[in-house]
Amino acid sequence: MKKVLALLLLLIVACGGSGEETTVEDTTTTTVEDTTTTTVEDTTTTTIPPAPTSDTNYVELYNSILGTELCSDAKEIDTTSEECLRQYKENLNYLITLQNEIGDFGSDLIAYYETYPELINQEYEEYINFVENEYSQVFTTVSTVEDKYVERFGGVPKILSLNFNEGLEVNCPAEGEFAVSENLKNAELVFTNNSNEEIFINITDSNKLFKNNMINSGGNFSIKSLKAKNYLDEEYELNSNLSFFVNHMFHRISEITLPTQKLNYGDEFYIEIFIENTSDVYGVSLEFYNIYMKQGMSPVDTNVIQRVSESTVKAVFKMKLVSQEGNRKTFYNGQEPVEVFLFDGIGSHNISYISINSNDSFTTRFADSLNFANGITFPLATKCGPIWQEKVKNLDYQKLIVLTNY
C-alpha cells in the first residue's frame, strides 16, 4: 500500500508543471480506497518421518521364550521337573536383560506418536499394551520362580533307599537303583564291610542306577562316606543307614585279633579269628610265614570255636612262644596253649595261611600267595564260578603280624 501511495505521489509531481507560473489553490479533497486483495499460496511440502522400528520383534520373542521354548508344564512350578523349572527361570532372566532395549524402543514410539497422533495404529497400541501388561510382569514372575527353584532344589539332598533287582552274590553282577530327593544333583558313596573292603558308587540326577560286579568277600556293607550336591552346587557330607548284604558260599574271615605288644620266649598270647560261616566249622588251622623258605612254618590247630552271633563264630588260639622247633604242642583244645617257634633276628612274623575246616565241601583256605615261593592260592567258590582269593582282599597279610623282641 505504501508503494502505491508513493507512486501516486510521483505521478502528481511529474504532471503538474509548464513554463508559466501558476498559482493553484488546492481546495480538492482526495479520498483513495485500497480495494486490492492479495492472495499468498503456500507451496511448502512437509515430510513426516517414518515410525521407529526395531530389528527384534519383542512380542514374538517374548511369546517364543515363554511359550514354545518351554516344557509344556514349565509354569507348573510346584511340580515340574528341575530341568524345566531351570529353563523357565533362565528364560525369564534373559528377558530381563532386554529391559533397556524394550524400554528404549517403547519410549521412541511414544515420543513419535505424541508428535503425530493421527498416525497411531493397532501395532503401536499392541506394543504399549505388551510392555505395560505382559513384559512388566516378568520381574515379579522371575522372583517367584527363583524362590521356588531354591525351595525345591536347594537345601540338604537325601538318598532315600537303594533297591536291588535280586539278591547279591560274591563275584556276580549286581544291579540296583537309588531313590533320592528331587534336589539331589549328584552323590559319591563309599560302602565298606567289616574287613574294610570298599565299594564306590557315583550317582547323578540322570543316572540313579547301580551296576557293579561284586568282587569282594561279601558280608554286610554299610555307608563309610556320603557326599552329595544339590542343584545350587552346595555340597553336604551326609549320614545314612543305607546297607546291603552280599552273600558268600565260602567261610568268610571278617577280622583277626593279634597281640599288640612285642613278645619274648615263654610269653603266652591269643589269636582270634572271626568267621562268617556258611556251615558248621569244627576246626581252624594256622601257619606263620617262613621268609627263608618262602612257605608256611609252625602250623597249629584249634577246635575252640565259639558262637559270637547268628552269622559269626570265633576260632580261638592260645599260644606260647618257644625258642626251638623241637617237639611242639600244636593242637589247642581250650586247655594248654599250642607252642609256636619263630625265627630269631626277624622281629616281625606274618601269618601266611589259614584253613577253616568243615565236614562238607565248604572248607575254605586262605593263603598269602603273593609271598609264597610257588604262588600257592586257593579259589573261592561262588555262584558265578570260582574267584581267586587275592581279588577279594579281605585279608591284608602285611598287617597280620606278630612282633617279637628277638
User: In terms of domains, do 356 and 378 share one?
Assistant: yes
Answer with the one of 247, 280, 296 that is the final residue of a domain.
247
Domain region containing 108? 58-153
- Domain-embedded: residue 35: no
User: In terms of domains, do 332 and 380 share one?
Assistant: yes
User: In terms of domains, do 111 and 223 share one?
Assistant: no
- Domain-embedded: residue 36: no
Q: What is the pLDDT of residue 137?
A: 96
User: In terms of domains, do 149 and 136 share one?
Assistant: yes
Q: What is the pLDDT of residue 17?
A: 38
User: In terms of domains, do 76 and 188 share one?
Assistant: no
Backbone angles phi, psi at 47, to 5 degrees: -100, 125
- Domain-embedded: residue 303: yes
- Domain-embedded: residue 8: no
What cell numbers appear for 75 in the block? 509354569
The total number of structural domains that make up the chain: 3
pLDDT over 70, % of the chain: 88
User: In terms of domains, do 343 and 357 share one?
Assistant: yes
Answer with the one of 247, 267, 290 that is the final residue of a domain.
247
pLDDT band at 400 (very low <50, low <70, confident <90, very high): very high
Place of cell 565236614: 359
- Domain-embedded: residue 4: no
Output the average pLDDT for the chain. 88
pLDDT band at 46 (very low <50, low <70, confident <90, very high): confident
pLDDT tens for each residue of 383-392: 999 998 888 8
User: In terms of domains, do 137 and 258 share one?
Assistant: no
* DSSP-assigned letters across all residues of 208-268: -EEEEE--S--EEEEEEEEEEEETT--EEE-----EEEEE-SS-EEEEEE---S-B-TT-E
Answer with the one of 206, 225, 247 that is the final residue of a domain.
247
User: In terms of domains, do 262 and 331 share one?
Assistant: yes
- Domain-embedded: residue 23: no
- Domain-embedded: residue 44: no
pLDDT tens for each residue of 227-242: 999 999 999 999 999 9
- pLDDT > 70? residue 179: yes
* Mean pLDDT (whole number) for 158-186: 94
Q: Are strands 168-169 and 243-247 parallel, antiparallel or unpaired?
A: parallel
* Higher-pLDDT residue of 17, 242: 242
3-state DSSP assignment of residue 80: coil
Rounded distance between C-alpha atoms, residue 106 and residue 169, angstroms: 70
CATH number at residue 221: 2.60.40.10
pLDDT band at 301 (very low <50, low <70, confident <90, very high): very high
User: In terms of domains, do 293 and 354 share one?
Assistant: yes
